[in-house]
Structure 1
Amino acid sequence: MDPRITYFPVGNGDCSLITLSDNTQIIIDCNTTQEASDEDDPSRYDVHQHLLDFGKKLDGKIPHVDVFILTHADQDHCRGFDTMFYTGDPSKYTVKHSKEDLILIDELWFTHRIFANHEGELSKWAKAFKKEAQRRIDLHLAKSSVRNDAGNRIRVVGHSNNPAYKGLGDLVITPGNYIDVIDRKTKKDFRFFVHAPFRKEVDDKLADRNDTSVVLQACFDVGGTKNAGLAMFGGDAGAAIWSKILELSDDDKLAFDLFLAPHHCSWTFFSEEEYKYNKVPAEDSLAILGKGLDGARVIASCKPIKDDDDNPPHFAAKEEYEDVVGEENFISLAEVGDQKRALPTTFEMSENGPVLLDPEDLDHVDDTVKKVASTPQTYG
């Protein structure tokens, strides 16, 4: 199967699904609410039900995903985590959890920042994520015999001086490196390049949580073409972080076909100052956008964008994106589909780059994918 990225319309929040050629599935962030399943509320897509319908199954029964990546601990990136995913010892997943439609996560990715004393008050969803991440960390620090089992695996992204995590060794990946081992399997046609978070933001108690976001370049090889598709995920990282990324990175690490607008099409990508104080976008931010390849698209994961004072999404930010990539290449996820329900936006990776698929044609999974999605695997 051809690899693809699906961006879900979840209001002012993020949730993306990367599906690789071997059907490895990677979810980046979630923003799921009870309202998403309400047919009378078209503002959010029911990601949970989508994963239950079209995601992977263990032995054709138990829903699971290979990797979940939390870019940072704001609630609009982890809302619904504890009602969509199973937390706890994977060997204790029971029929009760299956009836609750809880999805197992093989491998959890996160930053050290969520455990910092200066992280501040967390939402109930972030607390649930933190508890699960700590459970898995404890298994690895104790060198438990089950630490590398599906449902206990971890990957820590970014620097930290916190001595509590020194024992995690090569499970910690720092900026400037590629990750091609995903859920303990080496991928020959996919890798992430890690841009951030940086040590200063992770360890500095004055640093804003948004600026501790995991920033990744997803690189797809298709057929004989290396980097046939390139996608940038930046959480809520602000202008100063992108300026630092620009300073440290070669052009090939910054190139993209798809760019998920940071902080839900907020002005913060273009300036550290509020728009009313500075209406001029930072040169470095424009330089980042200038790394887009021919036909590059910007994806805005936010509520419908209106010409008002909201931030996010910010109307002037939308105009800046459109000035660079063109109005036809700016996609507001909340405005894809019809008035009844916004639909996911999916790109399939080809040798010639990402191909935008018609959302009306994606309400099914073909037999080939169904067969691959039934995963023979044991938990616990």
Structure 2
Amino acid sequence: MTAKITFFPLGNADTSLIRLADDQLVLLDYANKRDPNNQYDARCDLPVELRKELDDADQEDFSVVCFTHLDDDHVCGSSDFFWLEHAAKYQEEGRPKIDELWVPAAAITEVGVEDSAWAIRQEARHRLKHGSGIKVFSRPAALESFLKENGLTLESRAHCIVDAGTTIPGFSLDGSEQVEFFVHCPFAWRSDERGLEDRNQDAVVLQATFIEGGSETYALLGSDVDCDTIGEIVKTSRSHDNEDRLLWDILHLFHHCSYKSVGPERGVDETEPTEEVAWLIEEQSRDGAVIISPSKPIPGKGAEEDEDKQPPHRQAANYYKRILDNKDGEFKVTMETPSKNSPKPFKIEITSAGAKIVLGVLSPVTSVTSKPARAG
């Protein structure tokens, strides 16, 4: 069995599903944004699509659900879908369970959250208090204070905490899952130095390394970080000789194709990248790379949406596309694939020959050349 990543058309919202080589399911975010009362809403019915994926993998539950941060476009409707441990009202029959919940530390310590964000925060707190079924990324001072208030210590919950610059326990290239997850963000020092939390900049950023038939394929899962945070990730990786942890064949694009994840100024026709972003996009992408923009369609020049402050931004997309053109790569937008009129979930299949984009189940569209596994 080869691994697959499924991307769902949800507008400017995020949900991606990784089906591992051993059929474990790892879900990254959950945002059921479709309006059921609007027959013209082209966004997919996420609960229906995920139940199809569970059935196809012969799974009742998710091995992992990662909420990269608590913005509505990453958690919307999650409290209506998942079986949650902390309260009986979320335990109706038929709700899929979460074996292990992954969250940034900010998702534990945030205050003033509502609706699904509140439910996920409460679930994360419940699991951390009990010391099981959770991985929390990074350890700002606020997390230590939360634990102390509940009669716990960082030491007693060290097995639940994963720092940036390390791999997540329970997954390896040698295991049946054939994947390794490396954590790039959030940084513990970021919250400690500022004394505050920023959902987007304290969001979870991972590199997933898959191995199939002796070849490695790299996926960089970018969340909503901006160019400054990307710069910190690049600098930190370089200073620790971890440049290979930023290689990528597949890039789940940052913040719905916002120019702010490329550079400080939008630009007229193309956003100029910062030095660190240019290195990441131009030097660390491999031949045939694929970029996935989890977003609305990219606006045309002069269109009303082209003046919108919110992403996606045409200028950022133009930068990415130009780089991919030089690498024989592909730029895919979730709300444009296979077409703007009828977007559908699509997959990238990880094979020994590389990563292959698949529409539906059996219709390959293009492929990405993989390379032999790195030494060591």
TM-score for both structures, normalised by structure 2? 0.82
Q: How is 1:138-217 mapped onto 2 (pairs within 5 angstroms)?
A: 138-140=129-131, 147=132, 153-161=133-141, 162-163=143-144, 164=147, 166=154, 167-182=156-171, 189-203=178-192, 204-217=194-207
CA contact (8 A) 1:180 1:186 kept: no
Deviation at 1:187, TM superposition (A): 5.0
Of 108, 112, 126, the match for 1:121: 112
SS in 2 for 1:217: strand
**1:20-44 alpha-carbon deviations (Å, 9 max, x no partner):** 1100100001110352x56723421
Q: Which residue of structure 1 lines up, in the alignment, with residue 367 of structure 2? A: none
CA contact (8 A) 1:42 1:339 kept: no
Q: Which residue of structure 1 lines up, in the alignment, with residue 213 of structure 2? A: 223
Q: How is 1:42-81 mapped onto 2 (pairs within 5 angstroms)?
A: 42-56=41-55, 63-81=60-78
What CA distance in whole angstroms lies between the structure 1 residues aligned with 2:319 and 2:56? 42
Q: How is 1:31-110 mapped onto 2 (pairs within 5 angstroms)?
A: 31-35=31-35, 37=36, 40-56=39-55, 63-88=60-85, 97-98=92-93, 101-110=94-103
Deviation at 1:359, TM superposition (A): 2.5
Q: Which residue of structure 2 lines up, in the alignment, with residue 322 of structure 1? A: 321
1:279/1:65 Cα in 2 relative to 1: closer, same or farther (>3 Å)?
closer
Amino acid at match of 1:68: V
SS in 1 for 2:84: coil
CA contact (8 A) 2:288 2:329 kept: no
CA contact (8 A) 1:32 1:80 kept: yes
What CA distance in whole angstroms lies between the structure 2 residues aligned with 1:121 and 1:264? 25
CA contact (8 A) 1:75 1:123 kept: no
Q: Which residue of structure 2 lines up, in the alignment, with residue 256 of structure 1? A: 248
What CA distance in whole angstroms lies between the structure 1 residues aligned with 2:322 and 2:111? 37
Aligned-pair identity in percent equals 28
Which consecutive residues of structure 1, in runs of 5 or more, have no partner in the other structure? Answer: 141-146, 148-152, 363-380
**1:263-300 alpha-carbon deviations (Å, 9 max, x no partner):** 00011111245658x95321211111121111011100
1:57/1:356 Cα in 2 relative to 1: closer, same or farther (>3 Å)?
closer
What CA distance in whole angstroms lies between the structure 2 residues aligned with 1:361 and 1:40? 28
Amino acid at match of 2:210: F
Which consecutive residues of structure 2, in runs of 5 or more, have no partner in the other structure? Answer: 148-152, 301-305, 364-376
Q: Which residue of structure 2 lines up, in the alignment, with residue 354 of structure 1? A: 355
Deviation at 1:115, TM superposition (A): 2.8
What CA distance in whole angstroms lies between the structure 1 residues aligned with 2:277 and 2:266? 15
Deviation at 1:90, TM superposition (A): 9.4
What CA distance in whole angstroms lies between the structure 2 residues aligned with 1:114 and 1:54? 27
Deviation at 1:46, TM superposition (A): 1.5
Deviation at 1:201, TM superposition (A): 2.9
What CA distance in whole angstroms lies between the structure 1 residues aligned with 2:202 and 2:63? 24
1:73/1:273 Cα in 2 relative to 1: closer, same or farther (>3 Å)?
farther
Q: Which residue of structure 2 lines up, in the alignment, with residue 235 of structure 1? A: 223
What CA distance in whole angstroms lies between the structure 1 residues aligned with 2:97 and 2:219? 26
SS in 2 for 1:77: helix
What CA distance in whole angstroms lies between the structure 2 residues aligned with 1:335 and 1:300? 10
What CA distance in whole angstroms lies between the structure 2 residues aligned with 1:19 and 1:188? 9
SS in 1 for 2:61: strand
Deviation at 1:205, TM superposition (A): 3.7
**1:118-167 alpha-carbon deviations (Å, 9 max, x no partner):** x4532411101001111111212xxxxxx4xxxxx111112322322502
Q: Which residue of structure 2 lines up, in the alignment, with residue 23 of structure 1? A: 23
SS in 1 for 2:256: coil
Deviation at 1:54, TM superposition (A): 2.7
CA contact (8 A) 1:42 1:340 kept: no
1:182/1:93 Cα in 2 relative to 1: closer, same or farther (>3 Å)?
farther
1:271 aligns with 2:263: yes
**1:192-247 alpha-carbon deviations (Å, 9 max, x no partner):** 0111101133343445321001110011010222x2x1111121011111111111
What CA distance in whole angstroms lies between the structure 2 residues aligned with 1:349 and 1:269? 27
Deviation at 1:50, TM superposition (A): 1.3
Amino acid at match of 1:286: A
Q: Which residue of structure 2 lines up, in the alignment, with residue 112 of structure 1? A: 105
RMSD: 2.8
CA contact (8 A) 2:289 2:329 kept: no
Of 202, 218, 234, the match for 1:246: 234
What CA distance in whole angstroms lies between the structure 1 residues aligned with 2:329 and 2:292? 11
1:299/1:134 Cα in 2 relative to 1: closer, same or farther (>3 Å)?
same
Of 134, 142, 145, the match for 2:125: 134
Structure with more relative contact order (C-alpha pairs < 8 Å, separation 6 or more): 1
TM-score for both structures, normalised by structure 1? 0.81
Deviation at 1:88, TM superposition (A): 2.3
